[in-house]
């Protein structure tokens, strides 16, 4: 099922410095994978996906499906099991449902990339790279790779391997970059460190033998206390302009406060030398100042517990406010770099107060350029964001919205980074029921930009039309696409970069 929404904007849209009166934004949405169509559905959903040249590819924790980008028709008669690429290539270590999968589209190579953690008797990270950009091609196939994580994760004092959780994957010009948290199974799975890895993109794109992945842990060895700089997010390329040769991969992470709020994020740098691996370097955390924030649902006694988002029912869901959220979107424009990040922050006062969406733009070298907060001023909670940027410098961020009088729904906001325009919010999919048998919410939602026109945003998230209670599974996902008016008439990706260090303050 598909439908189209036309949202009239009450204010001017400032695009490239020019006002547009009575502008319209057209939102097309269609149904993605639902619990009823997932062959092995579970409570966790973690919907994410990416738009390619010909199709959109969606992932939930147990399955994936492709959709024609024009008709929205499913590529496969029903969603495929999540481990299909590796099962097809007879890789038993990657068989099963370890969850935490990420789908990306490599804009520079026009290929699909899938990364997923597997937790059978041992821990593996599994990557699949498509041989073409067309999921319907008669010659379509996956090149598949696996990394045995067990020798790399490290072990606690009892000799038990740390558990790899919340892995993230990104495309860069010289590699595919991954990060994962390290959790101590004997300390109630407390996060005690992080690990990052670089994969040999050059050979993986041809299906060749990949050079040994390069991995680094921090701290080494992990400590026995909660690691407050956790959940590193690697930069992922958007558009067709690569970073300058030799540009290292950057990661970002929160700096979870000890008491109430924080005024810093962390920058990390991974410089890989494939010819001389011993020369590769992982540096960080390097703290940099941002406008003060309190992570969403922050509890100083339990900084890893971020459940406080209300629903009309009696259950609360997870804001996932203790980390920056997928993706760390990179774009090269006019010989400058622009990196976008988003996170859930508190916008009210008091313990476990209302949440909103904070976004940041970093420039060349990872310096803060701009930031703002999405908080329209109602009583609802906004959480689990994902941000991206089109060729005209428009930022779009999608997220979930919920409250005591609002069932969990899907919304988005946009603004223009160059003009400093205020964010405009619009609805993507209203919910009509809530989740009453789990606090888990989709932590892998994603906003991506069409690689063909470099203007159309595509976004996926979860919602409910029937209450999920007891052992029932009623979750649904919705996929949307939209353009910000004027993008197609923009000159292209060579946009003026704002002066480094300039900030516009918090838009509310």
Whether 465 is covered by a domain: the verdict is yes
Cα 392 to Cα 423: distance, rounded to the nearest angstrom: 16
Q: How many CB atoms lie within 10 A of CB 502?
A: 12
Q: pLDDT tens digits, the chain, 508 residues: what are they?
A: 444 444 433 333 323 333 333 357 899 999 999 999 998 999 999 999 999 999 999 999 999 999 999 999 999 999 999 999 999 999 999 999 888 999 999 999 999 999 999 998 799 999 999 999 999 999 999 999 999 999 999 999 999 999 999 999 999 999 999 999 999 999 999 999 999 999 999 999 999 999 999 999 999 888 888 999 999 999 999 999 999 999 999 999 999 998 878 999 999 999 999 999 999 999 999 999 999 999 999 988 888 899 999 999 889 999 999 999 999 999 998 889 999 999 999 998 777 789 999 999 999 888 899 999 999 999 999 999 999 999 999 999 999 999 999 999 999 999 999 888 899 999 999 999 999 999 999 888 999 999 999 999 999 999 999 999 999 999 999 999 999 999 988 755 444 333 333 333 333 2
CB distance 225 to 196 below 8 Å = no
Is residue 501 a part of any domain in this protein? Answer: no
Q: Please report whether residue 240 resides in a domain.
A: yes
List CB contacts of 49: < 8 A, sequence separation 6 or more: 32, 56, 57, 58, 59, 103, 446, 448, 458, 460, 479
Answer whether 409's CB lies under 8 Å from 429's CB.
yes
pLDDT for position 443: 83
User: Residues for the chain: how many in total?
Assistant: 508
Tokens representing residue 349 in the block: 């006062």
498 found inside a domain? no
C-alpha count within 13 angstroms, C-beta hemisphere, residue 109: 22
- Residue 72: what pLDDT? 98
Which pLDDT belongs to residue 258? 86
The helix (H) or strand (E) run that includes residue 150 is helix 150-153
| 503 domain-assigned | no
Instruction: Give the pLDDT confidence score for residue 492 in this predicted structure.
Output: 54
| pLDDT for position 301 | 87
Distances (CA, A) of 125 to 110, 128, 239: 22, 10, 27
User: Of 423, 367, 363, which Cα lies nearest the Cα of 399?
Assistant: 423
Q: Is residue 393 part of a domain?
A: yes
| Pairing label, strands 233-237, 324-333 | parallel
Q: What pLDDT, on a 0 to 100 scale, did the predictor assign at position 386?
A: 98
For residue 413, what is the domain's CATH number?
2.120.10
Q: What token pair was written down for 450?
A: 């069409």
Alpha-carbon 498 to chain mean position: 25
Output the CA–CA distances (angstroms, integers) from residue 55 to 65, 67, 260, 487, in the order listed. 10, 5, 44, 21
Tell me: cis bond preceding 400? Omega within 30 of 0 counts: no
Residue 189: give the domain boundaries: 2-489
Residue 194 counted as domain residue: yes
Q: Give me the sign of the Cα torsion angle 481, 483, 484, 487.
A: positive
Q: What is the pTM of this model?
A: 0.92
* Token duo for residue 295: 């992570």
How far apart are the C-alpha atoms of 305 and 224, rounded to whole Å? 18
Task: Estimate to the nearest angstrom the gap between the alpha carbon of 97 and the chain centroid.
Answer: 20
At residue 277, the 3 state secondary structure works out as helix
Which residue, chain included where needed, has tokens 């940027």? 389
Classify 324 as helix, strand or coil.
strand
The count of domains in the chain is 1
Would residue 32 count as lying in a domain? yes
């Amino acid at each position: 099922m598909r439908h189209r929404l036309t949202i009239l904007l009450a204010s001017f849209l400032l695009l490239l410095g020019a006002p547009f009166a009575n502008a319209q934004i057209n939102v097309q949405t269609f149904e993605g994978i639902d619990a009823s169509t997932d062959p092995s559905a579970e409570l966790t959903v973690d919907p994410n996906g990416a738009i390619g040249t010909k199709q959109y590819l969606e992932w939930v924790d147990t399955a994936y499906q492709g959709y024609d980008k024009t008709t929205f028709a499913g590529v496969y008669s029903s969603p495929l099991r999540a481990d299909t690429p590796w099962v097809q290539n007879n890789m038993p270590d990657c068989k099963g449902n370890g969850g935490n999968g990420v789908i990306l589209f490599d804009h520079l190579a026009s290929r699909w990339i899938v990364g997923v953690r597997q937790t059978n008797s041992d821990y593996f990270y599994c990557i699949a790279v498509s041989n073409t950009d067309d999921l319907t091609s008669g010659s379509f196939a996956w090149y598949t790779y696996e990394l045995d994580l067990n020798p790399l994760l490290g072990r606690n004092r009892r000799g038990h391997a740390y558990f790899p959780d919340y892995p993230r994957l990104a495309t860069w010009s010289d590699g595919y970059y991954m990060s994962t948290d390290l959790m101590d199974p004997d300390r109630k799975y407390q996060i005690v460190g992080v690990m990052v890895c670089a994969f040999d993109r050059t050979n993986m794109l041809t299906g060749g033998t990949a050079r040994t992945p390069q991995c680094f842990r921090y701290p080494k060895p992990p400590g026995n206390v909660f690691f407050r700089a956790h959940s590193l997010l690697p930069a992922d390329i958007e558009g067709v302009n690569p970073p300058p040769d030799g540009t290292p991969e950057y990661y970002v992470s929160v700096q979870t406060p000890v008491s109430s709020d924080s005024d810093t994020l962390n920058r990390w740098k991974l410089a890989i030398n494939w010819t001389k691996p011993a020369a590769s370097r992982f540096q960080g955390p390097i703290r940099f100042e941002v406008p003060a924030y309190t992570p969403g649902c922050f509890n100083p006694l339990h900084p890893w517990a971020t459940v406080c988002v209300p629903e009309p029912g009696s259950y609360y869901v997870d804001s996932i406010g203790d980390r920056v959220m997928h993706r760390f979107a990179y774009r090269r424009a006019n010989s400058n770099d622009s990196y976008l990040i988003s996170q859930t922050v508190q916008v009210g006062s008091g313990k476990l107060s209302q949440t909103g969406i904070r976004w940041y733009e970093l420039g060349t070298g990872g310096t803060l350029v701009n930031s703002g907060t999405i908080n329209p001023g109602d009583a609802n909670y906004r959480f689990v964001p994902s941000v991206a940027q089109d060729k005209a410098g428009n930022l779009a961020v999608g997220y979930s919205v919920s409250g005591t009088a609002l069932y969990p729904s899907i919304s988005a906001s946009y603004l223009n980074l160059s003009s400093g325009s205020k964010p405009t919010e619009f609805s993507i999919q209203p919910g009509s029921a809530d989740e009453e048998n789990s606090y888990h919410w989709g932590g892998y939602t994603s906003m991506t930009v069409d690689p063909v026109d470099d203007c159309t945003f595509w976004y996926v998230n979860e919602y409910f039309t029937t209450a999920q209670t007891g052992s029932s599974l009623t979750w649904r996902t919705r996929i949307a696409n939209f353009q910000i008016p004027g993008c197609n008439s923009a000159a292209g990706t060579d946009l003026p970069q704002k002066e480094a260090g300039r900030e516009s303050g918090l838009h509310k």
